[in-house]
Structure 1
Amino acid sequence: MMYSGTGLAGAYQSVGFASISDGVFGGGAGGIETTKTWGFRGGFTHNWNPNWVSAIYGGYAQLKYSDTAKTLICANFAAIASPGATCNPDFSFGVVGVNTVWSPVKNLAFTADLSWSRLDQKYSGTVSGANTAVATAAKPAATYELKDQNSLTLLLRAQRTF
């Protein structure tokens, strides 16, 4: 789950859902419905000199469920969703980032890593915050808009190796 703001009147926040499974099984479904996934990632590192290193990296992945698996997953969606909301657990996730490492002396490194990620989820409409997923995230029982989410992250690290 990823949360963010919303411009939808009456909604507390927005939320994006993504869950990963190898397969979905339901009583009477006739077997395990497997998921289809694909993805790629890559990066490039440049050593400016013995003290400075920079890198750029990225990745993208997609997960799709069969129609039978979607039916099983979405069986209880209507209980928490607003009229007209759609249940589709398919999603994709991408990330792009850059980092720089400075090593002023042997066995000491300072790193700054900036990344942007995007969850492209396929649910739409609104859901009630009284459901278990929102409650486990310590969020108030309210109305949440279902929409894609973005995240910008800056990580700073100091590492000393002995």
Structure 2
Amino acid sequence: MLARSHANPYWNTSIYGAYAQVMYNSTSKGYICGPGGTGVGGTFGITFGAAGLTSCNPDYAIAQIGTQTQWTPVKNLTFTADLIYQRLDQKCAGTITTAAFGSVGKPLATYQLKDQDGVSLLLRAQRNW
């Protein structure tokens, strides 16, 4: 989705969005979550730990909406501000205690599984010759 406004030759604003969803079938969920969805004994070595896990469902969705404004005060010089809001809607709930994952930089800790929100601001200056 993209909407643009050209209210002024020096300013340009657009609005955009995106949505993606991943849904696993029951066989895949069994491999990830273990027998009966307990989170213990998953094929990939993920042990959520029955004590803290209230729901093991690896399905998730990601949504984004953003706006970008460009200002061109003189020919071939553009300043851009891009503001983005994103949301991760995940279906797992509870807590997990992980082993140290050296390859991904996650330390040994207990993590809470929940939806996540984020906001990003990108600033850019571009000069063309």
State the TM-score bracket (shorter-chain normalisation).
0.7 to 0.9
1:59-70 equivalence runs, <5 A: 59-70=18-29
SS at match of 2:126: strand
Whether the 8 Å contact between 1:82 and 1:125 is mirrored in structure 2 is no
SS at match of 1:158: strand
Whether the 8 Å contact between 2:17 and 2:64 is mirrored in structure 1 is yes
Moved over 3 A (4+): none
From 79, 85, 90, the equivalent of 2:59 is: 90
Give 1:50 deviation, angstroms: 1.7
In structure 1, what is the Cα distance between the partners aligned to 2:33 and 2:128? 49
1:125-144 equivalence runs, <5 A: 125-130=94-99, 132=101, 135-144=102-111
TM-score (norm 2): 0.82
Gap runs ≥5 in structure 1: 1-41
In structure 2, what is the Cα distance between the partners aligned to 1:65 and 1:126? 21
Q: Residues 117-138 of structure 1, C-alpha deviation per residue, up to 9 Å, x if partnerless?
A: 0000111111113153xx4442
User: Partner of 1:157 in structure 2?
Assistant: 124
From 55, 61, 72, the equivalent of 2:31 is: 72
1:1-162 equivalence runs, <5 A: 42-75=1-34, 77-78=39-40, 80-84=47-51, 85=53, 86-130=55-99, 132=101, 135-162=102-129
In structure 1, what is the Cα distance between the partners aligned to 2:93 and 2:121? 29
In structure 1, what is the Cα distance between the partners aligned to 2:18 and 2:99? 34
Whether the 8 Å contact between 2:61 and 2:90 is mirrored in structure 1 is yes
In structure 1, what is the Cα distance between the partners aligned to 2:78 and 2:67? 16
User: What letter corresponds to residue 74 of structure 1 in structure 2?
Assistant: C
User: What letter corresponds to residue 51 of structure 1 in structure 2?
Assistant: Y
User: What letter corresponds to residue 68 of structure 1 in structure 2?
Assistant: T
Report the CA distance shift for 1:94/1:123 in structure 2 as closer, same or farther (over 3 A).
same
Matched positions, count: 119
Identical aligned pairs, as a percentage? 46
Q: Residues 46-94 of structure 1, C-alpha deviation per residue, up to 9 Å, x if partnerless?
A: 1122210011111222121111121122239425313251321111110
Gap runs ≥5 in structure 2: 42-46
